[in-house]
């Protein structure tokens, strides 16, 4: 099974500062037909369902602010928030869909 390891488990960032969340895959998740990595990112606020932020590593879902970006290659992937806003406080999950979909353990982002 492909395992996703997120780091850090929790992160405190000041308003306006950059937040970086990492997700490491135990093996490649590169989907050959489109040469893209099968990775998505979600944001989950308390008492709410997850919200899709990115798919295929870096394709931003409609409505997601541009301060959010997804990147990565190989087995290392990153979600970056360029300038943290108060409403970004949440738990963030990566998810691969190369084989049976699996989510990472989550990163709690606080101010």
Partner 1 sequence: QVQLQESGPGLVKPSETLSLTCTVSGGSISDYYWSWVRQPPGKELEWIGYVHYTGNTNFNPSLRSRVSLSVDTSWNRFSLKLRSVTAADTAVYYCARAARGAIYYFHLWGQGTLVTVSS
| 50 or 72: CB nearest partner 1 | 50
43 in contact with partner 1 (CB under 8 A): no
CA 74 to chain CA centroid, Å, is 15
The count of C-alpha atoms lying within 13 angstroms of the C-alpha of 105, restricted to the half-sphere facing its C-beta, is 11
Smallest distance from the beta carbon of 106 to partner 1, in angstroms? 5
Of 23, 70, 81, 106, the one binding partner 1 (CB under 8 A) is 106
Closest CA to 55 of 42, 65, 74: 42
Question: Pattern 62-101, binding to partner 1, x per CB under 8 A?
Answer: -------------------------------x-x-x--xx
DSSP letter for each residue of 28-51? --EETTTTEE-EEEEEE-TTS--E
Interface with partner 1 (CB under 8 A): 38, 40, 42, 48-52, 55, 61, 93, 95, 97, 100-106
């Amino acid at each position: 099974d492909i395992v996703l390891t997120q780091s850090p488990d929790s992160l405190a960032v000041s308003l306006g500062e950059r937040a970086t969340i990492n997700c490491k895959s135990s093996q490649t998740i590169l989907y050959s037909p489109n040469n893209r990595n099968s990775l998505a990112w979600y944001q989950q606020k308390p008492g709410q369902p997850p919200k899709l932020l990115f798919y295929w590593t870096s394709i931003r879902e409609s409505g997601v602010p541009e301060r959010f970006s997804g990147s990565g290659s190989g087995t290392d992937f990153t979600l970056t928030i360029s300038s943290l806003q108060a409403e970004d406080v949440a738990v963030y999950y990566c998810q691969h869909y190369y084989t049976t979909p699996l989510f990472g353990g989550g990163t709690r982002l606080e101010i």
